Chain A
């Protein structure tokens, strides 16, 4: 009891000191600032009257409120009100930081003062009702209803008082978790940009006087970035051999782009698994693409593959200088051996259409044995 008395006295002395003494770097004390403003004086007197009226009303209603604790709390609250109204702007900002971290204030700035006051008063009333309800419980029959009402009121009061703090904490937690996820993503992103884009840029700088090499690097990087954008999770993990026609076709695209520094556009309709004839078709198509990349002088080669139930068709086309197919020497392995004969061996067919000046198109057709269901 004595300790409580000293504590209370200490708080009130501190409050008085705070109100009367001029803060370092300022020219007025809180009291003189509040006292010189008419509006502030009104607010203070209204506040004081309101608090004492409330206490009086509660006393009359039968709650025994006038006591040491109540008076201490009342004077403490009034002192706090004076301080709050009278502080300078810089000190107020500091106080805001403090109150924001106090549990019952919750997000004081977000809620606004009317809200906080309303909530605090409401919860204090509930708590008082609850406490006094519980303190009157006797052994009389039917007293249990008092316990129920009292504890409900108490719990309600506490909930109202602490709700913003509780909600704020929850929100803070999820905010923090999101921030952590974002930071992780940013780190991954930064790592990727460094490993790929920045590396390539430095390579490009070093190869600045070699346009072919620059084009090759740019295309390689572009492809990498696209793959990464589409599927960052599995990027760099899939090094296993291709297991479908489309995958192998894209592999051919990449290989030839990297080796010959021409753009290869692949368009595929449908897809199928790899088999010996399909691999032969791809081999022939690859050869045709290499020829176009090497000899046509066209900046790009187009590959079109269509998979139908009864056949696979592959076109390799460039808009380069073209040639006259009938004038190709018979000993040139490229066309006859690697394309025409290879297709013939797997039961397919190759047609080469070209004329000087208007580009070349190689058409490869592979019939499929339709398996009856």
Chain B
């Protein structure tokens, strides 16, 4: 991701000062940090005022958490992109924030360079999937095998099914491959990998797929 384009403008939301300073240190001079907030209200106000490219957003915060910030900002300014941050990558956290509109998800123990890469990727309009998120998507979008009787036909084939290629890409992400490695493995360009992941993100956000809804309602997410 070495580009001559201007550094992405990043806004940081986390209620723990320690985490914020850690992330600040890791981001270093690779991004332009335009502000920080430690609570929902202030975050919404400052993000709408400064309009950063990427918001690094803590999922678990008092007063509605990251999702409250995300929903309030996106309602007014859909150009702001969100990268969710959490200590846990438990599927229920991931799926809720992604469905709400985040373009990616990383855990807080992510290494500095990976975080920077993720931020640049989000800023460029692509999506960032952790291996666990990829695993979840494969699970939720499993084709009509296994419990075939329980799965009704997809409501919208365009949104409710993954293509072979998307499935391959997700599988490699779940195995821990970086985008570059996936591109090499599948003999495709990194850009193509990115567009596959973005397509999956879109399906994940828009699909009404039975499994996804059932899965989420079981955990009282929707």
Contacts and interface: CB of A to CB of B under 8 A. Distances in A.
A230 B90 contact: yes
Given A265-B131, A268-B135, A304 B145 contact: no
B64 interface: no
B131 A308 contact: no
Contacts of B142: 269-270
Given A226-B88, A308-B145, A302 B131 contact: yes
Interface string A297-320: 000001010101100000101010
A269 B142 CA distance: 9
Contacts of A304: 131, 135, 171, 174-176
Interface centre among A230, A267, A302, A308 (most CB of B within 10 A): A267
Contact of B135 (A269, A308, A309): A269
A253 interface: no
B146 A309 contact: yes
Contacts of B171: 304, 306
A267 B131 contact: yes
A361 B174 CA distance: 13
A230 B135 CA distance: 19
B174 A267 contact: yes
B145 A269 contact: no
Interface string A143-175: 000000000000000000000000000000000
B212 interface: no
Contacts of B88: 226
Interface residues of B, number: 15
Contacts of B175: 302, 304, 315, 317, 361
A188 to B, nearest CB: 21
A319 B131 CA distance: 15
B60 to A, nearest CB: 11
B176 A265 contact: yes
Nearest to A361: B175
Contacts of B138: 269, 306
B166 to A, nearest CB: 14
B170 to A, nearest CB: 9
Given A302-B175, A302-B176, A269 B146 contact: no
Nearest to B109: A263
Interface string A240-277: 00000000000000000000000001011110000000
B132 interface: yes
Contacts of B90: 226, 230
B103 to A, nearest CB: 21
Contacts of B145: 308-309
A317 B139 contact: no
B146 A270 contact: yes
A230 B88 CA distance: 11
Contacts of A302: 131, 175-176
Nearest to B92: A230
Given A302-B176, A304-B176, A306-B171, A267 B135 contact: yes
A267 to B, nearest CB: 4
A361 B185 CA distance: 13
B47 interface: no
Interface string B125-156: 00000011011001100100110000000000
Nearest to B133: A267
Contacts of A361: 175
B95 to A, nearest CB: 15
A272 to B, nearest CB: 9
Nearest to B131: A267
Interface centre among B131, B132, B174 (most CB of A within 10 A): B174
A281 B134 CA distance: 23
A268 B131 CA distance: 10
Given A302-B176, A315-B175, A361-B175, A267 B146 contact: no
A317 B132 CA distance: 14
Contacts of A319: 176
A355 to B, nearest CB: 13
A319 B114 CA distance: 14
Interface in A162-195: none
Nearest to B176: A302
B174 A269 contact: yes
B129 to A, nearest CB: 11
A269 B171 CA distance: 10
Contacts of A268: 135
Contacts of B135: 267-269, 304
B34 to A, nearest CB: 32
A297 B131 CA distance: 21
Nearest to B89: A265
B181 to A, nearest CB: 9
Interface in B66-97: 88, 90
B120 to A, nearest CB: 21
Given A270-B142, A304-B174, 15 more contacts: A226-B88, A265-B131, A265-B132, A265-B176, A267-B135, A267-B174, A269-B174, A270-B146, A304-B135, A304-B171, A306-B171, A306-B174, A308-B145, A309-B146, A315-B175
12 contacts: A226-B90, A267-B134, A269-B135, A270-B142, A302-B175, A304-B131, A304-B135, A304-B176, A306-B171, A308-B145, A309-B146, A317-B175
| The 3 A-B residue pairs with the shortest CB-CB distance in the complex, in nearest-first order | A302-B176, A267-B135, A304-B175
